[in-house]
Amino acid sequence: MKQSLLKKMLLYFSAVLLLFSLLMGTLFSLLFARHSQEVHQEEMQKRALALAAAIPAMEEATKIMQSEDETYTDTYSQSTELLPGRGRGHHGRMMHQSQGWCRRQYSEPNNNATAFFQQLNELGEGEVWLVSAGSRMIRSYGAENKDVLTDLPPEAEELIVEVLQGQSVHSRAFSPLLGTPSITVAAPIYQNGQISGAVLLHHSLKNMEKSQWQGIRLLGLSLLLALLLTAVLAAILARHFTRPLLKMQQTARAFASGDLTARTGIRQQDEIGQLAADLDTLGTELQQSRTERQDFLTAISHELRTPLTVLRGTLELLWQDLTSTPEQKSRCQEQALSSLATLERLVGDLLELTRLQNPGFLLQKETLDVKEAFQDAVRQMQIMAAAKHIKIVTEFHQPQIIEGDYGRLRQLLVILLDNAVKFSPEETSITVAQEITPQGWQFSVTDQGCGIPPEELSHIFDKFRTSRGQENRQGTGLGLAIAQEIAQRHGLRLACESQIDQGSKFSIIAE
């Protein structure tokens, strides 16, 4: 069990942690990529705006932005002649004038424009393009050092149109022209309060993706270390849980093998500790039950031995014809019959007690008046009481309706009255009274007998606890135990108050 449970707990912990790590890693990657892109885009936007604000003050920028576009027109006309499908006439030139763009690149050494664009690229930390508001010319630093007529993607043209209208925008539409996934931010250039052009700042996404992958790898390593650490902690935690379970298993096996003295020894303020405490309590109860069973068997052996011994001795006398007179023979026969009657009462009481203690034994319950059942019991005991000139007085006030077994309730009061009559002197009285209390109701049987010693009061409802006086020579010691079982089956409680030489009071209490 140890290895199986431990492995299962580790497997469950690991599966949960792995799933959690994958979910967190995916979520973090998405959020980190989006956040990195937004931060990078904001930084580019700031740099583009800074460049757009600084360019009007640069002398070289003014010359470039205010230069004529004759070169664009010449290049455009020549390129039109070379492009397949382009008309040479006025119509073809007008069509491309509305769609084509001319990219002018500067790379000549010792050229002011080249140095200017290199400076812009350094300041913008990317590739900077300048667009004039009055032409379809794009100027930038480039290795080709010539004018190239090109078509921009529709999204790129829309970006240029929007920025020349005074908006700060961004797009990825220039990636095909740049030959690499890129992001472009654009800012308008204001000169004398009017838009004279725009700054297009391009930045490759490869560096950003590289940073993202570095962050993801760092996250992966962190999650791996966390997973390993958590696995160690999970193993420790699993052992912490399985250790008391193993102790409880060992204790249960000890109970099964007959060792009821075994205990778990677990003291924890949680569900496992409560379970261990319940198991220890079970062991204590089993041990007590074993002791009671042994005492019960001992008591039965003792109770059976006495009448059996007397019966055997009497039968031997009669069998060997050792009685010399008819009176002796008659006395032996009476003694044998008395022993048989004692055995019959003992066996009957044992069967009755066993039946009542069996959870499967059902009482014949019905709606009844307890007072009527107890009045019937009083009438039944009047004859026995009259033999000792004892008067049974009843003080019943009102009906008491409950769900119960009429015969068993009558038997309950008969047992109490039988004890009261046996231990009461002649010419005394016994009172059966009904009392209504704030907690419920109760019936009591009060006698004027010899009383019960204080040390015996806590054991009077135990099996085979009986007085060995002359007045109880035929008692089996099971009467009050049977009465207790009947009371408990009806949700009632038996209590006893007694003083030596002043009598006893047995109460049937409903709460």
Q: What is the pLDDT of residues 122-178, one digit of tens each?
A: 888 888 988 888 777 888 877 666 677 777 888 888 898 898 888 888 888 888 888
Contact 431, 445 (CB under 8 A): yes
Query: Where does 260-325 have alpha helices with state H?
Result: 271-319
Specify the DSSP element, H or E, that contains 88: none
Which sign does the torsion angle of CA 424, 430, 432, 438 carry? negative
Beta pairing partners, 104: 139, 147
Ranges in the chain annotated CATH 3.30.450: 43-205
Query: Where does 358-422 have alpha helices with state H?
Result: 370-386, 406-422
Q: How far apart are CA 489 and CA 370, in angstroms?
A: 14
**The CATH number of 43-205 is which of 2.60.120, 3.30.450, 2.40.128, 3.40.50?**
3.30.450
Per-residue pLDDT of the chain (511 residues; tens, 9 = 90+): 445 666 776 777 778 777 877 787 778 777 777 777 788 888 888 888 888 888 888 877 777 766 644 444 444 444 444 333 333 333 333 333 445 787 788 777 777 788 888 888 888 888 898 888 877 788 887 766 667 777 788 888 889 889 888 888 888 888 888 888 888 999 998 888 888 888 899 888 777 777 767 777 777 788 788 778 877 877 787 777 778 888 888 999 998 888 888 888 888 888 888 888 899 999 888 888 888 777 777 767 766 776 788 788 888 877 777 766 788 778 888 878 877 877 777 777 777 777 777 777 788 889 999 999 999 999 999 988 999 999 999 999 899 999 999 998 999 999 999 989 988 999 999 999 999 888 889 999 999 988 888 888 888 888 766 654 444 455 567 888 889 989 998 999 999 999 888 899 999 999 7
Is residue 463 classed as helix, strand or coil in its secondary structure?
coil
Q: How far apart are CA 400 and CA 31, in angstroms?
A: 76
Torsion of CA 75, 79, 80, 81, to 10 degrees: 110
Which sign does the torsion angle of CA 236, 237, 240, 242 carry? negative
The tokens describing 62, both together, are: 């003014």
Q: Give pLDDT, residue 65.
A: 65
Alpha-carbon separation of residue 132 from 104, 164, 257, 471 (angstroms) = 12, 9, 99, 132
Q: What share of the chain is helix, strand, coil (3-state, %, to 5)?
A: 60, 15, 25
Q: How many Cβ atoms from other residues are within 10 Å of residue 402's Cβ?
A: 17
Q: Give pLDDT, residue 370.
A: 93
How long a stretch of residues is the chain? 511
Q: How far apart are CA 191 and CA 159, in angstroms?
A: 20
Contact 166, 188 (CB under 8 A): yes
Asked if CATH classification 3.30.530.20 holds for the domain at 366-510, the reply, yes or no, is no
Q: Give pLDDT, residue 496.
A: 93
Q: Give pLDDT, residue 11.
A: 76
221-234 residue pLDDT tens = 887 887 788 778 77
Closest C-alpha to 491, from 387, 405, 389: 405
Ranges in the chain annotated CATH 3.30.565.10: 366-510
Q: What is the CATH number of domain 271-357?
A: 1.10.287.130
Q: How far apart are CA 7 and CA 17, in angstroms?
A: 15
Contact 287, 261 (CB under 8 A): yes
Our measurement of the distance from residue 309's CA atom to the centroid of its chain's CA atoms, rounded to an integer in Å, reads: 64
The tokens describing 309, both together, are: 């011994």
Q: Residue 177: which residues within 8 A CB-CB, separation 6 or more? A: 150, 152, 153, 156
